[in-house]
Amino acid sequence: MKFGLVHLNSVGRRNITHVSDFILMGLTDSVEIRLVLFTLFLLIYLITVLGNVVMILVICLDPQLHTPMYFFLSHLSFLDLSYSSVITPKTLDNLLTSVKNISYPNCFTQMYCFVFLGATECFLLSSMAYDRCVAIRNPLHYPVVMSTRRCCSLVFGSYLFGFTDSTVNVLCMNKLHFCDSNVIYHFFCDVPPILALSCTDTHDIEITISIFAGSTLVVSLITISVSYASILSTILKITSTSGKQKAFSTCASHLLGVTIFYSTMVFTYLKPRKSYSLGKDQVASVFYTIVIPMLNPLIYSLRNKEVKNAVSRVIQKRKASKQLK
């Protein structure tokens, strides 16, 4: 590991080593378990890539899915695909090799992309909840309210908030110094273990990051909660059982995806640094970085007849075009 000396004068004169690379300890030291995890994570990643790419292609190719809900869903698939690709390939590489180094720039790039995509997904899920609320409460005005311009604005706003959150996050983290160790007790460059590794006073940095990260989670959660409270109120007023089932089915997949995503996020990030637990946080991190990106396309496709029908139509069109050739 390479070091450069930085001279500081706070309480006294001390030499602080500038870390040029980190060592990711990963999930386990057992060779047998690492091989099992490699096989499992590789399978999950392949399903993630296939599932999300298919969702994006089907939504783009089938005109009947050119609606606000599927517009948001295509961006969710793009985020999940990117989200998983930021973490999983490096994790797979570390599971197979004994050298687990990651350079300082690559570590912070990974963290930046992770925070950017995660924060963007939070706001995108909020936009999807708002979309479902409008669809159920005001079905007649839905095409007007959820116009193409508004949908594009909501998606652009989600990316913009994600960009702002991640930029502030990395600028704060870039002020950290590391004295005694460059070993990150995690399988990717996440905020809590890097903060725990730093030897500088992280109080102000933690407050700033907590404000932005907490605001992202809380604001998006409030938006989703208010939307679904409004949806539930509307559904309860429907007299027919079939009407209630139809209304609920339009948002059931989204509600399931939101519950899984936010439960792990809140468990990991809405707590103080002192309560950071390597084992518990790693399990939660595996779930929301590797597993959830695979689950989302399965949840939205398996529970959605429109997506299944669209896949069938696309396949039939492809077969018909080949026969004509």
d(CA 68, CA 226): 20
Q: Which two tokens stand for residue 199?
A: 């030897």
Q: What is the pLDDT of residues 96-124, one digit of tens each?
A: 887 788 888 899 999 999 999 999 999 99
Q: Which amino acid is at 319?
A: K
d(CA 107, CA 112): 9
Instruction: Return the pLDDT at 145.
Output: 92
Which among 290, 293, 130, 311 is positioned nearest to 224, based on CA atoms?
A: 130
CA dihedral 228, 150, 299, 220 (to 10 degrees): -50
pTM over the 0.75 mark: yes
> Would you say the C-alpha torsion 289, 293, 295, 299 has a positive or negative sign?
positive
Cβ within 8 Å of residue 55, ≥6 positions away: 73, 74, 77, 297, 300, 301, 307
Pairwise pLDDT comparison (49 vs 318), residue with the higher score:
49
d(CA 279, CA 193): 12
Q: What is the DSSP string of 134-194?
A: HHHH-TTTHHHHT-HHHHHHHHHHHHHHHHHHHHHHHHHHTT----S--EESSSS--HHHH
Instruction: Return the pLDDT at 39.
Output: 95
Q: Which two tokens stand for residue 285?
A: 């991190």
Q: Which amino acid is at 235?
A: I
Q: What is the pLDDT of residues 147-206, one digit of tens each?
A: 999 999 999 999 999 999 999 988 888 888 887 778 888 889 888 888 888 887 888 888
Class of domain 3-233+240-324: mainly alpha
Q: What is the pLDDT of residues 9-49, one digit of tens each?
A: 333 334 455 667 888 888 888 888 999 999 999 999 999 99
Other C-beta atoms within 10 Å of 303: how many? Answer: 15
Give CA 150 to chain center in angstroms: 23
> Would you say the C-alpha torsion 236, 238, 240, 241 has a positive or negative sign?
negative
Instruction: Return the pLDDT at 77.
Output: 93
d(CA 68, CA 61): 15
Q: Which two tokens stand for residue 205?
A: 């940095």
d(CA 163, CA 116): 5
DSSP 24: E
Domain ranges of the chain: 3-233+240-324
* Strands of 169-313, DSSP E: 183-184
Instruction: Return the pLDDT at 130.
Output: 93
Q: Which amino acid is at 55?
A: M
Residues 2 and 21: beta-carbon distance below 8 Å:
yes
Q: Which amino acid is at 154?
A: L
Q: What is the pLDDT of residues 47-90, one digit of tens each?
A: 999 999 989 998 998 888 889 989 999 999 999 999 899 999 99
